[in-house]
A and B are shown apart, each in its own frame.
Chain A
Amino acid sequence: MGLRLALETTTARALGGLSRAAGRGGGTTIPGKVLWKLDPEAVDLLAARLTEGVAVVSATNGKTTTTAMAAEILGERQSLAWNRAGANLMSGLASALVDARRAEFGLFEVDEAALPEAVTRLRPRVVALGNLFRDQLDRYGELELVAERWRTMVGALPPETTLVVNADDAVVADLADGRAAAIRFGLDDPTHARTRLQHAADSKYCLRCGHPYDFAAAYLGHLGDYRCPNCGHARPPLDLAVRNIELRGLHASRFQIDAASGQVEIELALPGLYNVYNAAAAAGLALASGASLEDVRSGLARFSAAFGRFERIPAGGKSVVLLLVKNPAGANEVVRTLETGIPPVLVVALNDAIADGQDVSWIWDVDFEPLLEHAQLVIVSGSRAAELGLRMTYGGLPADRLEVEPSLERALDRGLGLVEAGTELVVLPTYTAMLELRKVLTDRGAVRPYWEGRS
């Protein structure tokens, strides 16, 4: 390490420690912000020192979970530089690099918009791309804008970089069209297909000719087995296929992965088809990074939950389950998972900070209705609680089964007071609401702060 880089990283580390010591939260991005400001090229140098190289993950939904799964698979045999708390802008990546002094392999989730710069600087050997859904239009703009940036980014990748893409997403799959170094993953189990596309489905018109695709199976939003009846453009053959999926309610799933190197049975302690997709992406990334199918199996078997994503936190003889919601596609899958056992009391929290999206119209694209029919009480909370209350009301929830409590802490306590001892309270928060609720629980000693690792 050059003297200048050594000085910079030491200063940055010291600031991160100071920030934590001062009780200012995780200090997750403070060292990185300093380094990123002092010398952006230091990031390139720190990444180049990772002897086993770098892999990056991006997607609208599932970045944090996919990366955490890959970390579980790959972290057994090598030391990782990994942005575990989801700080996924350049400053967050810089922090993870500064923090991990003896790391051999870099594993980073990257914000969709920051991906091109991250790829230029980190020079990853594997780039895993999960999906593109409409998401916080006020921040990211339309889906096509992100897709266009990714096309440019992929066009500039060296031929030896392996692209891991979701074949079930037409826009994402197309990025690997004609590429030799690629793993195309997807689901191949029509028993889990929906009968029709969801309301919020995005990329449902043929990329080549604009005609609506026919879906032999539509699994999640617009993800599925598509074919254009007009020009024949279709899902590419799968290099990594997920078959024989068994979803076990709110707790687990089981499935088989067929890859070029063989077949493996996966047990995953996470519910929902969206986590099957995350696991497939993580498996593809890990295989492309040198892991074996056995590493994939054992890593996924050890995996529990990523930060705030189906995280269970004990709270005085009961527990709180946090299910992050942030856009229609993700929220629809959370709702679909809950349908297997609709909780009697539900807290849904909508904040409108920049990180949540200041435009809250997306809640109207979420199909909350299956929950509203059965929930005995829905407590809406957060800075836009009234807006959420309207969504539930106009969705058919009677006034006597709706409570509006903008204070997150009071909503949490109200919910906890209503669920029976030994059971759990299900909370669906947006990003900053999740952070705030986690802080309330941290302050009460129920959960360790996230910078100390998994709780």
Chain B
Amino acid sequence: MKIRVGHLYPDYLNIYADRGNIAVLARRAALRGHELEVRAVGLGDLLDPGAHDLLYVGGGQDREQALIAPDLAAKADALHAAHTRGVALLAVCGGYQLLGRGYRGRDGSFMPGAGLFPHETVAGDSRMIGDVLLECELDPGARRPLAGFENHAGRTLLDDGAEPLGRVVYGFGNDGASGKEGCRLGNALGTYLHGPLLPRNPWLADWLLGRALAHAGTGEPPTLAPLTDELEAEAFRVSAERARRRGGRR
């Protein structure tokens, strides 16, 4: 089956090796007999809510993020419509921030976001940097670890009742205090974790592929044939070990 991926602003938001995440999705889809078709959605391009099965928004440097923020906010209605239709979505770092209500700078300025995720981000005075380990439970009863690297000055505050992507085991997470990392809203996931995230966390790549396939026409997320994933497991082990050495939540 063909999985249609919309990659938002790849020319602007690509700082933390976002193409690594796309490469992982493409290969894991191909190994199961599916084809990933990746299209760039750039500045000024129309976002057709039905045109994609998976949307990807990466992270950028502050300057690039400021250049695309108004355009992303203008795509808010289309993003909401796509989300309601069940599109799978992964937003990382800057993309995660910009899909919330907005970003409040240290000078008091406010950069509005797309308002999909129920959160707001406030600039902090220090950067939160290092390896992170999370525990996620995207499907009831299925607890899984997630290892990545965070580097952000923004503190993202989830609204009451909003669901995080995972619980922080080691690292800072959204704000360094709540013990929450990322945000999950149906099939949409937002996170600060890069590394990139998917190569060392293949279960999450497959979760996203499953949701994308469901959107593409299978109805329910299909069971994907398991892959050996030996190197993936080793890369996860080393990354999780780095986070563990870093110590508990600070």
Contacts and interface: CB of A to CB of B under 8 A. Distances in A.
Interface of A: 134, 137-138, 141-144, 199-200, 202, 204-205, 210, 212, 352, 358-365, 383-384, 386-387, 389-391, 393-395, 404
A114 to B, nearest CB: 18
A254 B206 CA distance: 51
Contacts of B195: 359-361
A320 B15 CA distance: 33
Contact of B151 (A137, A364, A394): A137
Contact of B238 (A134, A137, A202, A387): A387
B56 interface: no
Given A387-B235, A393-B231, A144 B61 contact: yes
Nearest to A366: B17
Interface residues on B, range: 20 to 34
B194 A383 contact: no
A393 B228 CA distance: 13
3 closest cross-chain pairs (CB), A and B? A364-B17, A364-B20, A386-B234
A364 to B, nearest CB: 3
Contact of A141 (B67, B127, B196, B199): B127
B62 A361 contact: no
B62 to A, nearest CB: 6
Contacts of A391: 20, 199
Nearest to A144: B63
A202 to B, nearest CB: 8
Nearest to A395: B23
B19 A365 contact: yes
A393 to B, nearest CB: 6
B200 interface: yes
A390 B238 CA distance: 13
B149 interface: yes
A390 B151 CA distance: 22
For chain B, what secondary structure do more than half of its interface residues adopt (helix, strand, loop), or is it mixed? helix
B14 interface: yes
Contacts of B238: 383-384, 386-387
B15 A138 contact: no
Given A144-B62, A199-B19, A359-B149, A138 B129 contact: yes
Interface of B: 11, 14-17, 19-20, 23-24, 27, 61-64, 67, 127, 129-131, 149, 151, 194-196, 199-200, 231-232, 234-235, 237-239, 242
B234 A358 contact: no
A199 B14 contact: yes
Contact of B27 (A137, A141, A199, A394): A394
A205 B67 contact: yes
Contacts of A394: 20, 23-24, 27, 199
23 contacts: A134-B15, A138-B129, A138-B130, A141-B127, A142-B61, A143-B61, A199-B14, A204-B11, A205-B63, A210-B67, A358-B242, A359-B16, A359-B195, A363-B17, A364-B17, A365-B19, A383-B238, A384-B238, A386-B238, A389-B231, A390-B232, A394-B20, A394-B27
B27 to A, nearest CB: 5
Contacts of B16: 137, 359, 361
A167 B231 CA distance: 43
A43 B231 CA distance: 49
Nearest to B235: A386
A360 B67 CA distance: 26
A362 B151 contact: no
A35 B14 CA distance: 43
Contacts of A138: 129-130, 149, 151
Contacts of A210: 67
Given A361-B149, A361-B196, A390 B235 contact: yes
Contacts of A134: 15, 61
